[in-house]
Amino acid sequence: MDWSLYLVTDPYLGGGREEVVGVVQRALTGGVGVVQLRDKEGSDAQVEETARELLAILGDVPLFIDDRVEVAAKLDCHLHIGQNDMPLAQARAALGPEQLIGLSVGSDADLDALDGLATTSPHLLPDVVGIGPVFNTATKLDAPSGLGVKEARRLATRASERDIPAVAIGGINADSVSFLAGSDFSGVCVISAIMAAQDPEAAAHTLKEKFHG
């Protein structure tokens, strides 16, 4: 799987819920390799409708759905959860064997908890972790202060040592993405850098190029 450029959607930055699919389609042309549908305020029915529209255009690009485990299970999509959304065991139980789980991670304590799982219940480990926020971000209202590049890269190394791919998230744009190149991150997650871009295709191309150095 190509984690190098992971797009998290936002129904407002893209100009409205009805514009999300169009933005994603243009970003795919620019090199986005993974998409996460995140819509905190939409109903399950609205999220499912957008997910079905995305599945129709994504081809081999995987679709993660943020938090809505029932929708992910119904559509056979992958799932992303935060530290406070639901236990990994509950998420695994709801999904099929081929569905992946992404988990938000922001500290050594979060990774220490995964070490515990690796010993007792390795089947519950996430398939990818999103580490951040790397930089301060206004996209997620309840996001903590940025970790900084050095700390984020250190956590990515810890994840890599456990054979869990890590993607960086939080305040990443065309100016800051190069600070994460050459690290143990498998890729970067962006939201506004593509969703709010005048040219999502060009923005995606630039971000991917700069990440790969």
- The verdict on whether residue 38 carries a ligand-binding annotation is yes
- The verdict on whether residue 76 carries a ligand-binding annotation is no
- The verdict on whether residue 55 carries a ligand-binding annotation is no
- The verdict on whether residue 4 carries a ligand-binding annotation is no
Residue 40 identity? K
- The verdict on whether residue 127 carries a ligand-binding annotation is no
- The verdict on whether residue 194 carries a ligand-binding annotation is no
- The verdict on whether residue 36 carries a ligand-binding annotation is yes
- The verdict on whether residue 44 carries a ligand-binding annotation is no
Pairing of β 128-131 and β 166-168: parallel
Q: How many CB atoms lie within 10 A of CB 137?
A: 20
Nearest to 204 by CA among 163, 173, 180, 179: 173
Nearest to 27 by CA among 206, 204, 210, 187: 204
Distances (CA, A) of 51 to 20, 45, 187, 202: 10, 10, 23, 24
- The verdict on whether residue 204 carries a ligand-binding annotation is no
Q: Is 120 exposed, middle or buried (0-12, 13-18, 19+ CB in 10 A)?
A: exposed
- The verdict on whether residue 206 carries a ligand-binding annotation is no
- The verdict on whether residue 37 carries a ligand-binding annotation is yes
Q: Where are the alpha helices (DSSP H) in the chain?
A: 20-30, 44-58, 69-75, 88-94, 108-120, 149-161, 192-195, 200-211
- The verdict on whether residue 192 carries a ligand-binding annotation is yes
- The verdict on whether residue 210 carries a ligand-binding annotation is no
Nearest to 10 by CA among 48, 58, 66, 56: 66
- The verdict on whether residue 171 carries a ligand-binding annotation is yes
- The verdict on whether residue 9 carries a ligand-binding annotation is no
- As a whole number of Å, the CA-based R_g of the chain is 16
- The verdict on whether residue 85 carries a ligand-binding annotation is yes
- What residue numbers does the annotated binding site cover? 36-40, 66-67, 85, 104, 137-140, 171, 191-192
- What residue numbers does the annotated binding site for Mg(2+) cover? 67, 85
